[in-house]
Structure 1
Amino acid sequence: MRSVIIHYHLFKNAGSTIDGILSRHFSDAEHGHIEGEHPWSTVSPSDLLAFVTAHGELRAVSSHQARLPLPQDRGINFLPILFLRHPLDRFASVYEFERRQSVDSTSPSVAIARSGGLREFAEWTVSRDATAVCRNFQVIHLAGLQGDMRHARATHDDYIRALCVLAGLPFFGLVEAFDESLAIMRTALKPVISELQSQFVIENSSPRRSGSLEERVAKIENELGTPLFRELTEVNALDMLLYETARRKFRTLVSQFSANTTGELAA
């Protein structure tokens, strides 16, 4: 049976680094990319299946906009790669990235980030005019129920579906535990691609961002002030719940893969 890796490249979730690993492992013909027409578009499982079916040489596909669930085909074994991140840490990373983009970008968040500081970006994020880029983005992405990211707003149904999708994934990583995540990923994919390289280059990292996760989140609160920080947390409440569930599940994944490997993972 043909096996194809699907890299669900969630924006600012270490996806460029994973994309680089896949690009160095596979040839250009074997590693493809598919995106929608606009920055706010989505790519459905049926769109993804059509793309893979039309390109028989593909062994890996990366996409910012592809949505779960995995495509279904009797002749293809699809293997997902997906990373999650602390929502508030991700918020600051999105801001740093968007403010460096071209002035002619059609993404609404770029214009906001380029025109002001982190506080202004947060004020926009919590407003009614904001896109979903930093509002429960990961819940919306995993749920895959909403198609236009300019207007998407996470619901309780989205959250429940995102939890079910997370529970069904054979593997996922956390940006905050990247080394462990990469080790698990290599082990999970080993039956399909033998030995994925462990060396990597951090790509698209945000300058000026350092310290522990706790220190970065505290810095965000200090810069925004407590009232605005609380509003930002509230519009990411479902993402925070998803992240906490993912973090607990990830520790279980580490233990499971540690028990089945020799010296590759720390328990």
Structure 2
Amino acid sequence: MKHLILHFHLFKNGGTSLDAILKSQFPGSWVTKEFDGLAAKRAAQLKDWLLANQDATVFSSHTAWMPVPQIPGVNIIPLVFVRHPIDRIASAYSFERKLNNPSNYGAQLAQRVDFRQYVLERLADKADRQCRNFQTRRLSDAVISQAPERERALRAVQTLPFVGVVESYERSMRLLEVVLQPHFPWFRAQVVRANQSDGREKSLDARLAQVRAALGDEVYDTLMGENADDLAVHAAAWQQLDARILPSSDERSDPADDAPALSLPAPAGTLFRQLLEQVLERNPGANKKLVAKVARDTLESLREALASAELGRSRYAPLGVFTVAERAGKPGTVSEAAKHRQITLQLTDTERP
């Protein structure tokens, strides 16, 4: 069985950095091409391209269209990244402002108007998906069915072997190794930072605050609403990544931004973040004994933190699942960032006589 890697390089989703890794790991076997025409035509062109390049192993394209081609005797491994849609749109505008391509509509528009007007004009064209659920549209064709676009895109996140998350790039690279090493045992995903925008804020929250300030509340809220499906896809991809790959304590974010930080009261916040990084039940293949050990090692200090946070003092079982509990009428302290990542922490009260 021949194995090929197919990178669906979605615009401004960390793909340039991924391509740099793939080119370094597959020297002389990485090729790229762009396609024109409707989705069905592009899908056919994609299959022809794969068949025509027998010596290549890695294929990358911004404009290749799903579904993944089916070729007898060939295992095609699709790779795709998703990103917070509002941050992606802001990055696209910044990139197009500097793009020297007179035939590119986005570049022409970005160089003519400010960011607010750029968003308004792109949203005014109902056929333009650049600022309206762009990622949902691209992922939805991975699933052939009559289901709504959003449902198909969410299904693609669940079924594609690799859907990386730009906001957790290094962990996505660990997932990439899990996916590729069974077929390419020597593969190592060394993080490469390419095509970054200078002067951007480090955290996602800070960048989104900048976008809101640039657009104004009304346009920002409209843009969020127009990208509700992309937000759902992004959250689902992050949930999948959390389920498959444990965050490391020194995880830093990708070429594009930092993961949302937990905003819990100190000192509980620090300890909860450590717990978030260590809870292994989010990885279905985790070693259960290791889960119990991690729990036992953290519970003593966690109890002290809970007392300091006025959540009450109790004994807690070293279970593999943790959820912030409500005790003595005190609400749990899972932050909005944690909810965004769809991670649940549970501290199960097991107080006994």
Shorter-chain TM range is: 0.7 to 0.9
How far the C-alpha of 1:250 sits from its partner, in A, is: 1.8
- CA contact 2:79–2:161 (8 Å) conserved in 1: no
Q: Could you list the runs of 5+ residues in structure 2 that have no partner in the other structure?
A: 246-282, 288-353
* Worse-matched range after superposition: 78-87 or 115-124: 115-124
How far the C-alpha of 1:256 sits from its partner, in A, is: 4.7
Percent of paired sites with the same residue: 30
* Worse-matched range after superposition: 119-128 or 232-241: 119-128
Aligned to 1:262: none
Runs of 4+ in structure 1 over 6 Å off: 40-43
1:43–1:179 Cα change, 3 Å:
farther
Aligned to 1:8: 8
Residues in 1 aligned to 2:224 and 2:147: alpha-carbon distance in whole angstroms: 16
Residues in 2 aligned to 1:96 and 1:238: alpha-carbon distance in whole angstroms: 23
Aligned to 1:119: 116
Residues in 2 aligned to 1:43 and 1:176: alpha-carbon distance in whole angstroms: 32
How far the C-alpha of 1:196 sits from its partner, in A, is: 2.4
Aligned to 1:166: 157
Q: Residues 70-89 of structure 1: matches in 2 within 5 Å?
A: 70-89=68-87
Aligned to 1:265: none
Aligned to 1:250: 241
1:96–1:41 Cα change, 3 Å:
farther
How far the C-alpha of 1:200 sits from its partner, in A, is: 3.4
Give me the TM-score of the superposition, normalised by structure 1.
Answer: 0.85
Deviations 1:165-202 (A, max 9, x none): 22111221100000000111012100222232333331
* Worse-matched range after superposition: 40-49 or 60-69: 40-49
How far the C-alpha of 1:116 sits from its partner, in A, is: 2.1
- CA contact 1:109–1:131 (8 Å) conserved in 2: no
How far the C-alpha of 1:41 sits from its partner, in A, is: 7.4
Residues in 2 aligned to 1:134 and 1:42: alpha-carbon distance in whole angstroms: 22
Tell me the secondary structure at the aligned position of residue 165 of structure 1: helix
1:258–1:33 Cα change, 3 Å:
farther
Determine if the alignment matches structure 1 residue 178 to structure 2 residue 181: no
**Amino acid aligned to 1:27:** P
How far the C-alpha of 1:258 sits from its partner, in A, is: 6.4
Aligned to 1:152: none
* Worse-matched range after superposition: 116-125 or 173-182: 116-125
Tell me the secondary structure at the aligned position of residue 70 of structure 1: coil
Aligned to 1:264: none
Task: Report the RMSD for the aligned CA atoms in angstroms.
Answer: 2.4
Q: Residues 1-267 of structure 1: matches in 2 within 5 Å?
A: 1-28=1-28, 30-37=29-36, 44-104=42-102, 106-128=103-125, 131-144=128-141, 157-254=148-245, 255-256=283-284
Q: Could you list the runs of 5+ residues in structure 1 that have no partner in the other structure?
A: 146-154, 260-267
**Amino acid aligned to 1:8:** F
Between the two proteins, the alignment pairs up a number of residues equal to 249
Larger Rg: 2
**Amino acid aligned to 1:132:** R
